[in-house]
Amino acid sequence: MEKPIMLPREKVLRDPVHNYIHVTHQVILDLINTSEFQRLRRIKQLGASSYTFHGAEHSRFTHCVGVYEITRQICNNFQRNYPSKTPEDHLWHDDEERLVALCAALLHDIGHGPYSHTFEHIFGTDHEAITRQILTSPETEVNQVLRGVSPDFPEKVASVIGKTYADPQVVQMISSQIDADRMDYLLRDAYNTGTKYGMFDLTRILRVMRPYRHGIAFEASGMHAVEDYIVCRFQMYQQVYFHPVSRSMEVILDHLLHRAKYLYEHGQLNHEQTPTLLVPFLEDDFTLQDYLRLDDGVLTTYFTLWRDHPDDILRDLTSRFLDRRPLKSVRFTPETRDLLPHLQELIEAAGFNPQYYTAVNDSYDLPYDAYDPSSKEPKTQIELMEQDGTLEELSTVSPIVAAITGKSTGDERFFFPREMIHPEELQLFEPLYQEFQTYLRNDCLVDPRA
């Protein structure tokens, strides 16, 4: 018997950010209940950020249902206020587009694994490719549910996520500079970290969104709500996502996985410490099913085992990660970059292998950009629509947005062991440490001879 499209009665999930997530389609409920989607409960949304903001322990599951909910609200608004009546009016076609939009919203992040950024760096995985695979490969439960809608439905949903879908309104709901994805994660991360930077006026933004020929625009009267969102986003990047302590924990994670791989390749990860579920990745020969077995707990379980490994570096780095003992860091500039080799010498002289105990890491984000056809990946700019239909790009009317448009912001940091500045007492007055300290001032690298 074919399942009906709509649930006999709406179901809700209680959500701290949106109050309730409303599920009205059987397909959405079935997707949430797949093994691949439930796995997202075991992967933290913000990875190492919970080491800086202890409340930030929420999973990718919560974010994904939140993106779905915002998308649902956008569809409701579009359907109520801008239903298409003629083929040429470029308004909203709810019957055709709602379900594909909702599924794409729910599934847009399903390919993520544990600590994706770092994991991908070490093992060469690609969460976007895997998202596509989960949607289109017949072996997954997700694909099976999507195929139940129609044979070409999995491909349609994948093309929305891949931004090649024909209707730009649907694509921009999920992927643009002000989409359901970004709006949910800003609100959710702000809620869970306890910071207030990410709190913008979602209801007002949803009210001023409207479909038009080339996608989604915003009524000009809502300019300040959109401006505020851009500033919130900017602030969250500066204050939360780029926090040096979180980045330092990612550096440790990167180095410890790197060390594990090195040891594996040299036959030194074995017996009880063999990370069974990681072997396909260490061997660079993994299947989709191998990938779907991974989660945050799998990594930390192996780290717990590696705490007893004979290799000093692996043992020490896993302890630093599990026990949250971050590296220290300092900002540097192109001018002071030349000082780094000498600092690494000092660090090596203090007994630390620089390859595993130092790092250079930059965090840059483009808070907003206008459309630039010469860019490799031109961004959909934010368009404001006047009462008479005229469009204006956001940064042309907001001096605040103009100030950060097209400028990447962030910093480049050098990471080093805390022991260099908080050594055991006796060492404190040794020349080595004293010299090291002369290079640091006001969280910046400085040339003491200058």
| Least distance to its own copies, CB of residue 430, Å | 15
Gap between the Cα atoms of 421 and 434, Å rounded = 9
What minimum distance in Å lies between the beta carbon of 16 and its own copies?
3
> Whose Cβ is closer to its own copies: residue 159's or residue 177's?
177
DSSP character for 414? Answer: E
By CB under 8 A, the count of residues binding its own copies is 83
The neighbouring-strand residues paired with 445 are 440
Our finding on whether 340 is near its own copies (CB under 8 A) is: no
Distance (Å, whole) CA 107 – CA 323: 33
Contacts within 8 Å (CB) and 24+ apart, 82-85: 82/210, 82/211
Q: Give the x-and-dash track for 391-410 against its own copies (CB under 8 A).
A: --------xx-xxx--x-x-
Neighbours of 412 (CB within 10 A): 16
- Ranges within 174-193 binding its own copies (CB under 8 A): 191-193
Q: Exactly one of 50, 84, 118, 246 binds its own copies (CB under 8 A); which one?
A: 50
Q: Which of residues 309-328 bind its own copies (CB under 8 A)?
A: 319, 322-325
Closer residue to its own copies in complex, CB, 93/307: 307
Nearer CB in complex with its own copies: 340/402: 402
DSSP state of 399: H
Q: Which is nearer to its own copies, 10 or 139 (CB)?
A: 10
Q: How far apart are CA 260 and CA 302, in angstroms?
A: 10
**For its own copies, what does the binding mask look like between residues 265 and 284, x meaning CB under 8 A?**
-------x---xx-------
Beta pairing class for 19-25 and 328-332: unpaired
Stretch that binds its own copies, among 32-40, 98-106, 249-257, 333-341 (CB under 8 A): 32-40
Q: Say if CB 306 and CB 314 are below 8 A apart.
A: yes
Cβ distance to its own copies smaller for residue 5 or 12: 12
> Which positions from 414 to 433 touch its own copies by CB under 8 A, shown as an x/- string?
-----------x--------
CB closer to its own copies out of 144 and 349: 144
Please report, as residue ranges, which positions from 6 to 25 form the binding site for its own copies (by CB under 8 A): 9-10, 12-17, 19-20
| Sites for its own copies among residues 126-145 (CB under 8 A) | none
Cα dihedral 229, 233, 235, 237, rounded to 10, equals 180
Q: Is 239 in the site for its own copies (CB under 8 A)?
A: yes
- Interface residue with its own copies, options 76, 136, 137, 195 (CB under 8 A): 195
Residue-by-residue DSSP string for 128-173: HHHHHHHHH-TTSHHHHHHHHH-TTHHHHHHHHHTT--S-HHHHHH
Q: Among residues 170 and 260, whose Cβ is nearest to its own copies?
A: 260
54 binds its own copies (CB under 8 A): yes
Q: Say how far apart CA 241 and CA 260 lie, in whole Å.
A: 27
Tell how strand 359-365 and strand 215-219 pair up.
unpaired
Segment interacting with its own copies (CB under 8 A) among 68-76, 210-218, 296-304, 358-366: 296-304
Beta carbons of 172 and 215 less than 8 angstroms apart: yes
Task: DSSP for 223-250, please give it.
Answer: HHHHHHHHHHHHHHIIIIIT-HHHHHHH
Question: Tokens in use for 433?
Answer: 């440490």
